[in-house]
Amino acid sequence: GFRIGNAAYTPDLNGIPEESRESLAGLDVWIVDALRRTRHPSHFCLAETLSWIEKMQPKRAVITNMHCDLDYESLCRELPPTVEPAYDGMQLTI
């Protein structure tokens, strides 16, 4: 992944090394991987992503790389207010 100013993009993520955690501190926007509800060997599942979002406390988090079994409307209803699912064609201003 990478960080630009106060935004970070971390696709295809299945762990965050200790030495990388400081670079995710103080984010305004974190675009982060959440493949599906069940665990996967090379991607965060939704619960793992939400746990890391809670730890890192970005002002806004956008989950991406979602499998088709993660329904956009359902996620919008269940996610915390500062977390939103990405959608095709979504544009963010950072």
What local confidence, expressed as pLDDT, does residue 93 receive? Answer: 87
CB of 85 closer than 8 Å to CB of 62: yes
pLDDT band for position 46 (50/70/90)? very high
Chain centre distance of CA 43: 11
Residue whose pair of structure tokens reads 């890391």 in the numeric block: 52
Question: Is residue 91 included in any domain, yes or no?
Answer: no
Q: Residue 24 pLDDT more than 90?
A: yes
Helix (H, G, I), strand (E, B) or coil at 44: coil
Residue whose pair of structure tokens reads 């090379």 in the numeric block: 42
45-51: long-range pairs with CB below 8 Å, 24+: 46/70, 50/79, 50/80, 50/83
Tally of domains in the chain: 1
What local confidence, expressed as pLDDT, does residue 85 receive? Answer: 98
- Rounded Cα gap, residues 48 and 33, in angstroms: 10
Question: Is residue 20 included in any domain, yes or no?
Answer: yes
CA neighbours within 13 Å on the CB side: how many for 54? Answer: 8
Question: Is residue 45 included in any domain, yes or no?
Answer: yes
Question: Is residue 23 included in any domain, yes or no?
Answer: yes
What local confidence, expressed as pLDDT, does residue 27 receive? Answer: 98
Domain span at residue 16 reads 2-85
